[in-house]
Structure 1
Amino acid sequence: MMKNPENCSRAFFSFTPVCEDVSNNFSESYNNTLNTAREMPLVEMLETVRRQAMIRMDMRRTKAFKWQAKYSEKVANTIKAEKKHLFDCRVIPSGNGIYEVGENNHSHTVNMVEKTCVCRRWSMTGIPCRHALRVILKKKLDPLNYVSHWYLTSTWRKQYCNPILPVNGINFWRSSGEPTITVGNVLIMAVRFIGQGNNL
């Protein structure tokens, strides 16, 4: 964190990816998959990881194609969660699409034209924060019209349109013409039992 804060803190994140995740979920998921295959021979281990990735991709593809709303499930869940906090928000119009939204003892500037809020959550996630949501609902507008296109269900489905292809078994592989690698003599280490002296 001290050396590369721009890689570890949301304060330095770009708004372009509309993703607020600061986690190592990818590496944890990979390590979890690898744990089941860690003691296998290399080719077998890689094949196990590939097959598990195929299964995961297929499950997510199925979930995406079953979802019928215009925007992904995350949008629905986020907006539902943010709506619970709207009672604490008060809207004061400023003009030209700019509003002041008070929440408890704090004020937030919401710019509906630029789709920004001073809390930065709307810019960071691509989904209206509670302050923007309060303005949107006060104006009787549809919150979904203010969500980033990255959350469209059609975009979600495109992520999984190119599956990981199956690989034929080893008996179908072409011969490389290289000599077969064989295991050399196995060295059996001497075993010393508890209480046994140094002289065997």
Structure 2
Amino acid sequence: MYIWQNFRKKWSDLQLKMCMWSCAKATTTQDFNAAMERLKSINAGAWEYLHKISPKQWSRAHFSEYPKLDNYTNNNCEVFNAKVKKMRGKPIITMLEEVRCYVMRILARNKKVLVGYNGRLALTKQSRLEREKRESNKWMPLPTGDDAGNVYEVHCFPTKVSVDLGKGTCSCRLWQIIGLPCRHACAALAYQNRRPEEYAHNWLTMGAYNAAYQITMRPVPSQEYWEHDVDTLPILPPRYRKPIG
């Protein structure tokens, strides 16, 4: 998004916008290179601007398959900075105490919200999977006849992709990147009367969500309720020495 905001300051043409976002949303290097070549043929200056930026920072085609996520954000930093904005002017202990109480409330709220939810996937992931399942109706899976019966060639004229249900891969790479079966995999799973939810990565399940909120924060009583050890000397503040002059 930041790259796009800087990009449109120089090139606000709609065609260039579509080319730039085609590069960003491409999930394979072939699609990315084709989109970049198309952009170069339209405007060499715009191509040179994007060419200088590492595609690992802004194109799905070059994202790692490990995180199971197709977007990189700094939301954690922005949320933290927004929440501590009103607390920054307070003494350090008071500020930390308010941050602790805020985190405690968020943990308790999020843990309670989905107590009655019985789905296998978290709600946002389930919603995205439903979109892929609807789109899968446009694709026709053809079994290749392998011994395990897991490899399919999925068609939607003129495009063909290869899906391996055993390895959890698709040649479009979206399944590997986001951890959810893509529309091509959903079509192959529907051919076998299987539920795509069962083939989602464990990190996207409610089990992983609940595990993230298993931690609880212990309450901290105010100072008058602290325990005092009568057998030890009290801790005094350092002696103040008046500076010369």
TM above 0.5: yes
* Contact persistence 1:88–1:104 (CA under 8 A): no
1:147 aligns with 2:177: no
Are 1:54 and 1:164, in contact at CA under 8 Å, matched by a contact in 2? Answer: yes
Q: 1:134 aligns with which of 180, 187, 208?
A: 187
Aligned-residue offset at 1:19: 3.0
1 or 2 for the larger relative contact order (CA 8 Å, sep ≥6)?
A: 1
Cα offset, 1:181, TM superposition: 9.8
Structure 1 residue 114 displacement after superposition: 0.5
Residue 68 (structure 2) aligns with? 18
Q: Which residue of 2 aligns with 1:189?
A: none
- The residue type paired with residue 70 of structure 1 is R
Matches within 5 A, 1:71-150: 71-96=121-146, 97-103=150-156, 105-150=158-203
| Structure 1 residues 172 and 7: CA distance shift in structure 2, 3 A | farther
Tell me, yes or no, if the aligned pair for 1:65 and 1:157 is still in contact at 8 Å. no
The answer to which structure has the higher helix fraction is 2
Query: Residues of 1 paired with 2:239 and 2:61: CA distance?
Result: 52
* TM superposition shift of 1:53: 0.9
Quote the residue 1:159 is aligned against: 212
Helix, strand or coil at the partner of 1:86: helix
Distance 1:85 1:58 in 2: 37
* CA shift for structure 1 position 57: 0.8
Letter in 2 for 1:68: N
For 1:129 and 1:178, the matched residues in 2 are separated by 65
* CA contact 1:10–1:22 (8 Å) conserved in 2: no
SS in structure 1 at match of 2:105: helix
For residue 179 of structure 1, the aligned residue among 205, 214, 237 is: 237
**Further displaced range: 115-124 or 167-176:** 167-176
Distance 1:87 1:124 in 2: 22
TM-score by length of 2: 0.64
Cα distance change, pair 93–5 in 1 and its aligned pair in 2 (3 A): same
CA contact under 8 A between 1:89 and 1:101: conserved in structure 2? yes
Q: Which runs of no fewer than 5 residues in structure 2 stay unpaired?
A: 1-50, 229-233
Q: After the TM superposition, which of the residue ranges 51-60 and 172-181 deviates more from structure 2? A: 172-181
Question: Could you tell me how far 1:25 is from its partner in structure 2?
Answer: 1.0
Report the TM-score when normalising by structure 1.
0.76
SS of aligned partner of 1:56: helix
Alpha-carbon distance in 1 for matches of 2:56, 2:197:
31
Looking at structure 1, the residues matched to 128 and 52 of structure 2 have their Cα atoms a distance apart, in angstroms, of 32
Aligned length: 183
The percent identity for this pair of structures is 25
Residues in 1 aligned to 2:206 and 2:52: alpha-carbon distance in whole angstroms: 38
Equivalent of 1:45 in 95, 102, 116: 95
Residues 1:72 and 1:165: Cα distance change in structure 2 (over 3 Å): same
CA root-mean-square deviation = 3.0
| Aligned position for 2:47 | none
After alignment, is 57-66 or 103-112 more displaced? Answer: 103-112
Give 5+ residue unaligned stretches, structure 1.
185-200
